[in-house]
Amino acid sequence: MTSDDLELLYRAKLADFCRAAAAIAGDAELGRDSVQDAFARAVRKRRRYRGDGPLEAWVWRIVVNAARDARRRHGVVAEPVETEASDAPPGEHLPLELLTERQREVLFLHYYADLDYATIAAALGISPGTVGATLSTARRTLRQALTQEVAG
């Protein structure tokens, strides 16, 4: 893997990386900064990439970790981040505070970045089965909360 490979990935997926990182970091600017930090790390550590999985999954893991670090460093509370990819009407947010950190990350990577289970699993260091179970639990939690909100 060369820095050219990373540059191609960066150019092809920048918007996806920024959307997901902003959601994880809890702030759009922190998300963009996280992506920049992540790619700088990836370039520096490119010799550590063993090639036993897709390059994109390896980079996603670095992006997720950078976004987590930024959120913690800045004390940002997990709240929904408005992005162009949001299907919710303006001003309407999902109750993401009901989800665990892992559930939010799986949700963001699946819906904001459109990643498959295998890539999410590699990015988060969990199994694809755990991705499926986590996504299912997150959906159920959100569905119940929204149903209660509508009924209440």
CATH number at residue 72: 1.20.140
Give me the domain span that covers residue 49.
3-151
**Grouped pLDDT means (10 residues each) for the chain, 152 residues:** 87 94 92 96 90 88 94 72 44 76 94 93 94 96 86 70
pLDDT attached to residue 84: 46
pLDDT attached to residue 34: 96
Round to whole Å and give the CA distance between 36 and 147: 39
Rg (the chain; Cα; Å): 16
pLDDT attached to residue 148: 82
pLDDT attached to residue 104: 93
Number of domains making up the chain = 1
- pTM here is 0.77
User: Angle 101-111/128-151 helices, nearest 10 degrees?
Assistant: 100
pLDDT attached to residue 15: 94
Alpha carbon distances (Å) from 76 to 31, 46, 93, 95, 135: 12, 30, 17, 16, 23
pLDDT attached to residue 93: 66
Residue 152: both structure tokens together = 């209440």
